[in-house]
Amino acid sequence: MGMAAIESKESKRLPGLTARQFFPILSKGEKAQLHYLDTAASAQKPAAVIDRITAYLSHEHANIHRGAYSLSANATKAYDNSKLRLARFLGADSEREIIFTKGTTESINLVAHSLENYFSRGDNILISLIEHHSNIVPWQMLARRKGLNLSFCNISPSAEFDLDDYKKKVEELKPKLVAMTHVANSFGTLFPVDKIVDVAHKAGALVLVDAAQSVQHCELDCSRIGADFLAFSGHKFYGPTGIGVLYANSKVHHLMEPFQGGGDMISSVAVEGSAWADFPQRMEAGTPPIAEAIALESAVDFVEGFGLKAIADYEHSLFVKAWELLSKEEGVELYGPATRHGAESGCQVSIISFNLKGVHAHDLSTIADNFNVQIRAGHHCAMPALKHLGIASSARASIGLYSDISDFEALIDAIRAARKMFR
């Protein structure tokens, strides 16, 4: 349909290679072709990431930060190099600002635990109504433990962030922490993170940005955004499961207590008590996900091979075409205005949430599966947002750099079949 193909450094060397062909699961024969439209839940893995993890586990594995032998020293080096690479990729001041976790969920829980002594009874935390459960529940648990108040700023009936309500609540509540998503996984709402950080910092609040749905779609620069914390998951970024990142600005390290105790996070342990290792090691107790951390560096290489600007531009043009196709389809109700999505706003949103009249999202998803189309259906771990908009569930199609218009054409075939079936 006339869309320019997306190219990486490697595909420029190997003309004709499509982005999809870097992904073993997506490059089966024509008939077995998956139309994977659930990247927001988890991205597929390129061969480079799979090969790196296999090579590490086959030939390079030892525990890190411990052994005096070269196998361990080399594994340590590879793990630390990955952290360095992540720091550069995110525009952090140094690798001391990068903590490896299991994923976004653990990153947010880590912050909620580590800041316990920063809060006093009656303090306020401000989040939004459209957060993923992993940016709601850890704060509810902290609020219960410490006697804090958790408040939610509004979203509009079309699922947009209400900046005026946010400003009003920051002024009224003087929150000690603001925790907001960058892109909402449920309806693809793009949050104005720069403004959010600016308003919060002027009011003296710390800010956490949940970048789980943005880091793979737009150029993020932590020093420019200025947030105190930023979290994301490796598996949504074409990397392995079991590895996540927490960026913590060095200015806030003194506020953070260790999250868990154990090996590797101490400088000394005695019967009388223990002393902590430096940052970020004090936040990584126990043996970390070594293979996954190392393969995450390959995911960064892979993404940078295409370039985030090129990825955002490609995904944007696909998004616009997909939105248009779906909006013309009888009985399809799309959520949120199409205009808010766009590479020109600095970040590409790659999520389309919708319902087909008279067909439950779960049924649509099952029918789509018969067409080899994988879409998500349900509440998308965002129950307060769906309740606020008066929707019980929705179907969600989400784009990755390997997606193309044939995925949406197959989805349209599934929608037509569902419409016939439920007529």
Ligand X SMILES: Cc1ncc(COP(=O)(O)O)c(C=O)c1O
Q: What is the CB neighbour count within 10 angstroms for residue 9?
A: 11
Active-site annotation holds for 381:
yes
User: Among residues 114, 134, 348, 350, which is the contact residue for ligand X, using CB under 6 A?
Assistant: 134
286 contact partners, CB below 8 Å, separation of at least 6 = 260, 262, 263, 264, 265
Q: How far is the CB of 89 from ligand X (least distance, A)?
A: 18
160 contact partners, CB below 8 Å, separation of at least 6 = 189, 336, 337, 340
Record the tokens describing residue 16, joined without a space: 């004709």
Q: How far is the CB of 234 from ligand X (least distance, A)?
A: 8
Cβ closest to ligand X, residue 181 vs residue 281? 181
Q: Binders of ligand X among 73-132, rule CB under 6 A?
A: 103-105, 132
- Cis? peptide before 240, omega within 30° of 0: no
Query: Alpha carbon of 322 to those of 14, 350, 410: distances in Å?
Result: 28, 10, 11
Cβ closest to ligand X, residue 176 vs residue 380? 380
Cβ closest to ligand X, residue 101 vs residue 403? 101
When asked if residue 26 is in the footprint of ligand X (CB under 6 A), the reply is no
Q: CA nearest 8: which of 237, 403, 343, 309?
A: 309
Q: How far is the CB of 20 from ligand X (least distance, A)?
A: 23
Q: How far is the CB of 242 from ligand X (least distance, A)?
A: 10
Query: CA 384 to CA 112: how far, in whole Å?
Result: 20
User: Among residues 39, 124, 233, 317, which is the contact residue for ligand X, using CB under 6 A?
Assistant: 233
Which residue in 153, 218, 222, 381 is the catalytic one? 381
End-to-end CA distance of the chain, in Å? 31
Q: CA nearest 39: which of 317, 396, 353, 311?
A: 396
When asked if residue 348 is in the footprint of ligand X (CB under 6 A), the reply is no
When asked if residue 189 is in the footprint of ligand X (CB under 6 A), the reply is no
- Tell me the site size for ligand X, rule CB under 6 A: 12
Q: How far is the CB of 365 from ligand X (least distance, A)?
A: 16
- Applying CB under 6 A, the residues found at the interface with ligand X are 103-105, 132, 134-135, 181, 185, 210, 212-213, 233
Active-site residue list: 381
